[in-house]
Amino acid sequence: MPEHKRFNRIIFLFLIGTIVFSSCISRKRLTYFSEMEENPPVNEFNITRPIKTIQPFDNLYIWVTSIDERNQRIFNTGSSMSSDYINIISYTVNSDGYVDFPFTGQIYVKDMTLHQSKEQIENKISDYLNDITITVKFVNNKVSLLGEVARPGAYSFAKDQLTIFEALGLAGGATIYGKKNEIVLIREKNNKINYHYLDLTKKNIVSSDYYFIIPNDIIVIKPVRARYRTLNILNWPLVLSTITTAITLYLIFYKGN
């Protein structure tokens, strides 16, 4: 084969190889639990469930059950919810941590668990009624999923807690370009915003303090670099740089000969 044809083939293969490898994505970045092949495998982990406490601007479902239905109706009147919760009464915790309850006035519930707030409200209402039962739940629970997920947005859920995989499932999961080894979880606590970085390719994620999300968490999945190196979004600077390099090599080769 003539020398110049062989050189042309080398340049062509160099161009193709550069473009192909620049768009490659590591399988480890695309796969959940990518360390499953470890030896010996570890398949059991301890988990920690965070306890959501009541914070200002939370919406609480509070229902009073009493033998006397007439008295019960007095306490079970409040601002109605959206059409999704039309039969549920909700109370918004104000900026100081109080809920304004009928007849009893303001009741402090900030930083309490649901069980603690239940006891607090029962004690207040017991001044008016005997033999009552209080039900307290969070309503309007939402988690926001952004970045490389199939359907970014804010999603409502009924549970007090979800796992991070259940939350991702609400948005259709991560796309093939989602960087699963660097998930950002944004959580507000005590008027502070905290950023936490999670690696969903590790099995021990289930023992992380942030495996369970709580209402109002925000999850962001970053894109891998190859997201910008596909045929749809071609990395033109890299391609042009490669072509320039190839032409330079070509001229140097023939000038030297």
Q: How confident is the model at residue 74 (pLDDT cuts 50, 70, 90)?
A: low
**Cis, bond preceding 56 (omega within 30 deg of 0):** no
What's the whole-number mean pLDDT along residues 50-75? Answer: 78
Residue of higher predicted confidence among 144 and 129: 144
What's the whole-number mean pLDDT along residues 58-79? Answer: 71
Contact present, 217 and 143 (Cβ < 8 Å): yes
Q: What confidence score (pLDDT) does residue 188 get? A: 85
- Residue 72 in this model has a pLDDT that exceeds 80: no
Q: How far apart are CA 190 and CA 192, in angstroms?
A: 5
Beta bridge partners of 187: 194
- Residue 95 in this model has a pLDDT that exceeds 80: yes
- Mode of pairing for the β-strands spanning 218-223 and 178-189: antiparallel
Q: How far apart are CA 58 and CA 111, in angstroms?
A: 11
Tokens at residue 79, please?
Answer: 């601002």
Burial 169-187 (b: 16+ CB within 10 A, else e): ebbebbbebbbbbbbbbeb
Which DSSP helix (H) or strand (E) runs through 125?
helix 114-125
Judge whether 28-50+141-227 and 59-139 match in fold: no
Query: Beta-strand (E) ranges in the chain?
Result: 59-66, 79-80, 89-92, 98-101, 105-108, 132-139, 142-147, 153-156, 162-163, 178-189, 192-198, 212-213, 218-223
CATH architecture of 28-50+141-227: Roll (3.10)
Chain segment 192-231, per-residue pLDDT in tens: 899 999 999 888 888 888 899 888 899 999 998 755 555 4
Alpha-carbon dihedral of residues 168, 172, 175, 178, nearest 10 degrees? -10
Q: How confident is the model at residue 128 (pLDDT cuts 50, 70, 90)?
A: confident
Q: What confidence score (pLDDT) does residue 103 get? A: 78
Chain segment 156-186, per-residue pLDDT in tens: 887 777 899 999 999 999 998 898 988 999 9
Domain ranges of the chain: 3-23+229-256, 28-50+141-227, 59-139
Q: How confident is the model at residue 25 (pLDDT cuts 50, 70, 90)?
A: low
Q: How far apart are CA 200 and CA 11, in angstroms?
A: 40
Q: What's the fold here for domain 59-139? A: wza like fold (3.30.1950)
Tokens at residue 191, please?
Answer: 């008027």
Q: Lowest-confidence range among 1-10, 52-61, 63-72?
A: 1-10
Contact present, 15 and 9 (Cβ < 8 Å): no
pTM of structure? 0.62
Q: How confident is the model at residue 82 (pLDDT cuts 50, 70, 90)?
A: very low
- Residue 90 in this model has a pLDDT that exceeds 70: yes
Chain segment 28-41, per-residue pLDDT in tens: 555 555 555 555 56
- Residue 246 in this model has a pLDDT that exceeds 80: no
Percent of residues in the chain assigned helix, strand, coil, to nearest 5: 30, 30, 40
Q: What confidence score (pLDDT) does residue 257 get? A: 56
Which DSSP helix (H) or strand (E) runs through 116?
helix 114-125
Q: What confidence score (pLDDT) does residue 209 get? A: 86
Q: How far apart are CA 116 and CA 255, in angstroms?
A: 84
Q: Lowest-confidence range among 120-129, 178-187, 238-247?
A: 238-247
